[in-house]
């Protein structure tokens, strides 16, 4: 008999949410985490629960993101009940700023297209006067914004910590400092090789971020993921001026302001650099002139886990039944859905038809 019902490989936000979501249903779960040699996207996350522009070209992704936003309060409550950790979820809406009339038109077209393809979630365009009424801190360079009432934000580090703690409380095992080198399969059982250690389970979930590209083919899965670097600039704590989420800045419950939204193809290099930080600061100063008096206390970089079309991959192996894979670049946004919708499907042993759109065979389809 296998040692576990489910082994999840990858102790980040995706793996952590799936592991806790399965353990709370009674599954015997181990979460295998590589260690500080891993790229650990979950440690660098910006913390948005962001729905408004997700899945513009894939309605299934739009609906999945919305479902996750709906499930998020349940995840927050679950973390608080199991661990006493408040992950500081604030679903107070989200703003994406436009700095010109052309950007306003482009954004309005995107919102209209998503409305038509995926349904209305209340996202609307605000002109400068409407935006100022909502958020007096915006500067004159801002022409307006799109506002989505179901967007929000949370503290990703507290979420990660509480997912691990909640897994233990639910009877699961967290096994750090294990690099999985090999996965063997016999009917009904997977054997993971990590150094001299052997771990067995009836099911295995590959949720190892950038490490999934190497692990997935061992069990007939395909995870063509590549890194995309993002840098984040953090200010000292300041009095609250920004309670909603925005695509370039968010203010935490304790007052720090996180500034971000940089995108760099830098391979596996996680270093920071002044030119990108300067660009992040300049863009945010245009939107929030009051930030000129905020001291910067930290800058960090992390690697997003990107698929070829930017949408998540969920897959159940055809050749190795019981092997699943999950990846996305929105580990916070999708944490609610991963814990409370994907994990139950994995426990049941099948991904419902609604997951078909996320299968990686979409990357092999030839255009008509």
Output the CA angle 239-243-249, nearest 5 degrees.
85
Nearer to another protein, 292 or 361 (CB): 292
**Segment interacting with another protein, rule: CB under 8 A, options 74-82, 83-91, 96-104, 234-242:** 234-242
Nearer to another protein, 266 or 285 (CB): 285
Q: Which residues pair with 95 in a beta bridge?
A: 147, 246
Nearer to another protein, 79 or 294 (CB): 294
Residue from 99, 134, 157, 290 that binds another protein (CB under 8 A)? 290
Minimum distance from residue 137 beta carbon to another protein (Å): 8
**Segment interacting with another protein, rule: CB under 8 A, options 155-163, 169-177, 285-293, 342-350:** 285-293
**Segment interacting with another protein, rule: CB under 8 A, options 25-33, 63-71, 122-130, 287-295:** 287-295
Is residue 71 within 8 Å of residue 341, measured between CB atoms?
yes
Per-position x/- string for 128-147, each x denoting binding to another protein as judged by CB under 8 A, each - no binding: ---------x----------
The size of the chain, in residues, is 368
Mapped onto helix, strand or coil, the DSSP state of residue 4 is: strand
**Segment interacting with another protein, rule: CB under 8 A, options 27-35, 171-179, 288-296, 319-327:** 288-296
Minimum distance from residue 299 beta carbon to another protein (Å): 17
The full DSSP string for 246-274 is ESSEEE-TTS-EEE----B--TT-----H
Q: Do the strands 152-153 and 48-49 form a parallel or antiparallel pair, or are they unpaired?
A: antiparallel
- Going by C-beta distance under 8 Å and a sequence separation of 6 or more, which residues neighbour residue 218? 182, 183
Q: What gap in Å lies between CA 242 and CA 249, rounded to an integer? A: 9
Q: Which residues of 17-53 are buried (b: 16+ CB within 10 A; e: fewer)?
A: bbbbbbbbeebbbbbbbbeeebbbbbebbbbbbbbbb
Residue 328 binding another protein, by CB under 8 A: no
Nearer to another protein, 240 or 308 (CB): 240
Residue 238 binding another protein, by CB under 8 A: yes
**Segment interacting with another protein, rule: CB under 8 A, options 98-106, 138-146, 293-301, 338-346:** 293-301
Per-position x/- string for 243-262, each x denoting binding to another protein as judged by CB under 8 A, each - no binding: -----------xx-------
Nearer to another protein, 246 or 327 (CB): 246
Residue 295 binding another protein, by CB under 8 A: yes
Residue 170 binding another protein, by CB under 8 A: no
Is residue 124 within 8 Å of residue 151, measured between CB atoms?
no
- Taking Cα atoms as reference points, which of 86, 88, 89, 85 lies closest to residue 68? 89
The tokens of 319 are what? 């050749």
**Segment interacting with another protein, rule: CB under 8 A, options 39-47, 66-74, 237-245, 352-360:** 237-245
Q: Do the strands 94-98 and 245-246 form a parallel or antiparallel pair, or are they unpaired?
A: parallel
Residue 291 binding another protein, by CB under 8 A: yes
Nearer to another protein, 104 or 154 (CB): 154
Residue 236 binding another protein, by CB under 8 A: yes
E runs forming strands in 48-196:
48-49, 94-98, 124-127, 144-148, 152-153, 173-175, 182-186, 189-194
- Taking Cα atoms as reference points, which of 205, 223, 252 lies closest to residue 45? 252
Q: How many residues bind another protein (CB under 8 A)?
A: 13
Residue 293 binding another protein, by CB under 8 A: yes
Q: Which residues pair with 183 in a beta bridge?
A: 192
By CB under 8 A, name the binding residues for another protein.
137, 236-239, 241, 254-255, 290-291, 293-295
């Amino acid at each position: 008999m296998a040692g576990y019902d489910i082994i999840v490989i990858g102790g980040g936000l995706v793996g952590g949410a799936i592991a806790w979501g399965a353990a709370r249903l009674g599954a015997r779960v181990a979460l295998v985490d590589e260690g500080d040699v891993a790229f650990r996207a979950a440690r660098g996350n910006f913390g948005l629960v962001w729905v408004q522009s997700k899945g513009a070209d894939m309605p299934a992704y739009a609906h999945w993101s919305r479902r996750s936003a709906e499930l998020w309060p349940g995840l927050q409550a679950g973390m608080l009940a199991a661990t006493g950790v408040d992950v500081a979820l604030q679903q107070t809406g989200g703003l994406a700023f436009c700095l010109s009339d052309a950007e306003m038109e482009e954004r309005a077209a995107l919102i209209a297209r998503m409305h038509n393809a995926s349904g209305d979630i209340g996202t609307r365009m605000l002109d400068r006067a409407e935006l100022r009424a909502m958020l007096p801190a915006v500067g004159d360079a801002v022409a307006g914004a799109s506002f989505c009432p179901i967007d929000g934000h949370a503290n990703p580090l507290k979420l990660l910590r509480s997912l691990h703690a909640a897994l233990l409380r639910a009877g699961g095992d967290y096994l750090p400092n294990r690099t999985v080198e090999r996965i063997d399969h016999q009917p009904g059982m997977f054997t993971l090789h990590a150094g001299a250690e052997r771990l067995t389970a009836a099911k295995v979930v590959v949720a190892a971020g950038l490490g999934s590209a190497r692990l997935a083919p061992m069990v007939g899965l395909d995870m063509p993921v590549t890194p995309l670097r993002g840098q984040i600039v953090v200010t000292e704590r300041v009095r609250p001026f920004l309670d909603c989420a925005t695509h370039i800045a968010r203010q935490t419950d304790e007052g720090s302001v996180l500034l971000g939204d940089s995108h760099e193809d830098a391979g596996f290099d996680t270093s920071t650099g002044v030119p990108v930080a300067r660009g992040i600061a300049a863009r945010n100063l245009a939107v929030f002139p009051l930030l000129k008096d905020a001291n910067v206390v930290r800058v960090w970089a992390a690697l997003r886990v990107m698929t070829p079309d930017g949408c998540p991959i969920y897959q159940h192996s055809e050749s190795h039944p019981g092997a699943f894979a999950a990846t996305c670049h929105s580990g916070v946004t999708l944490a609610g859905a991963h814990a409370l919708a994907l994990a139950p499907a994995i426990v049941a042993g099948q991904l419902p038809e609604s997951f078909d759109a996320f299968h990686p065979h979409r990357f092999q389809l030839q255009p008509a």
